[in-house]
């Protein structure tokens, strides 16, 4: 990339209709707004993208997305079932936009605490290292280190937990896990590798609060409480 050249980047927000855990999860009301709106508004507020596009299979979802300022790309029904992987959805999306971008930013609507500040920081971090990395993934400090996460034995025993945990010190085992909030990738490299991880992937660290990912009812209730508190603080 030439010095002073402007990056071409887009934000894509995948939002298929239906959900087994929470009914219409991607548009469920969160403190007065549909869940996907938080990701759309955060992306638009950064003014960093040539386009903010919601990928969906639903006309209703598309109309909601457009009402908050996003563009909409409707996906085929075969990419809207439980068997459609993230790669399948992004492969279709990237092929349809003809790969005219330097990189794309995937913002899952189930991470409403991720705001424009996080996106700004992650984009600038990636831009600063664009020659050395092909991907970026947001992470949080893991609740437990891998030494505390093991399978239960076939006989029901804890035979795989073969350590003296009385001497376990959490501060000596700082590890991280992806939080699902931000993914970035160069189109060609993503289509070749088919995922965002590995030595060519850069980590962007986020707090536990900002990493809330809504998957089930408990996650949703927690997100409602945290978002309400954040909104109250912003209004003071």
Cα–Cα distance measured from residue 122 to residue 106, given in angstroms and rounded to the nearest whole number: 12
How much is the pLDDT for 144? 81
How much is the pLDDT for 2? 44
- Residue 88, class by beta-carbon neighbours within 10 Å (0-12 exposed, 13-18 middle, 19+ buried)? middle
Cα–Cα distance measured from residue 30 to residue 28, given in angstroms and rounded to the nearest whole number: 6
How much is the pLDDT for 100? 86
Among 185, 175, 173, 229, residue whose Cα is nearest residue 205: 175
How much is the pLDDT for 169? 67
- Model's pTM, two decimal places? 0.92
Q: Higher confidence at residue 97 or residue 138?
A: 138
pLDDT at 5 over 60: no
pLDDT band at 81 (very low <50, low <70, confident <90, very high): low
Q: How many other C-beta atoms are found inside a 10 Å radius of the C-beta of residue 25?
A: 22
Query: Which has the minimum average pLDDT: 5-9, 14-18, 197-201?
Result: 5-9
| Domain residue ranges of the chain, discontinuous segments joined by + | 9-141+177-235
How much is the pLDDT for 80? 65
pLDDT at 98 over 80: no
How much is the pLDDT for 166? 75
pLDDT band at 4 (very low <50, low <70, confident <90, very high): very low
pLDDT in tens, 196-208: 999 999 999 999 9
pLDDT at 82 over 80: no
Average pLDDT of every residue of the chain: 91
Q: Higher confidence at residue 84 or residue 44?
A: 44
Q: Which tokens go with 169?
A: 């010190």
- In the DSSP assignment, the letter for residue 198 is S
- CATH code: domain 9-141+177-235 is 3.90.550.10
Cα–Cα distance measured from residue 177 to residue 142, given in angstroms and rounded to the nearest whole number: 5
pLDDT in tens, 120-171: 999 999 999 999 999 999 999 998 888 888 999 999 999 998 877 777 666 5
């Amino acid at each position: 990339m030439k010095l002073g050249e402007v990056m071409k980047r887009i934000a894509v927000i995948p939002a298929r209709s239906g959900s087994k855990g929470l009914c219409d999860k991607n548009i469920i009301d969160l403190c007065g707004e549909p869940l996907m709106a938080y990701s759309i508004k955060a992306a638009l507020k950064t003014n960093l993208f040539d386009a903010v596009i919601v990928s969906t299979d639903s006309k209703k979802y598309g109309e909601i997305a457009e009402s908050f300022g996003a563009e909409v790309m409707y996906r085929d029904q075969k990419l809207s079932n439980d068997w459609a992987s993230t790669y399948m959805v992004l492969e279709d999306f990237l092929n349809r936009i003809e790969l005219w971008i330097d990189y794309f930013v995937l913002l899952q609507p189930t991470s409403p605490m991720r705001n424009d500040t996080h996106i700004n920081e992650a984009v600038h971090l990636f831009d600063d290292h664009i020659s050395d990395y092909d991907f970026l993934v947001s992470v949080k400090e893991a609740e437990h280190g891998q030494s505390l996460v093991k399978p239960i034995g076939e006989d029901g025993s804890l035979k795989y937990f073969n350590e003296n945990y009385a001497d376990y010190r959490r501060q000596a085992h700082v590890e991280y896990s992806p939080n699902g909030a931000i993914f970035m990738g160069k189109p060609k490299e993503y289509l070749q590798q088919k995922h965002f991880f590995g030595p060519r992937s850069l980590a962007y660290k986020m707090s536990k609060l900002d990493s809330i990912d809504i998957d089930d009812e408990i996650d949703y209730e927690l997100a409602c409480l945290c978002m309400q508190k954040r909104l109250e603080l912003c209004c003071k």
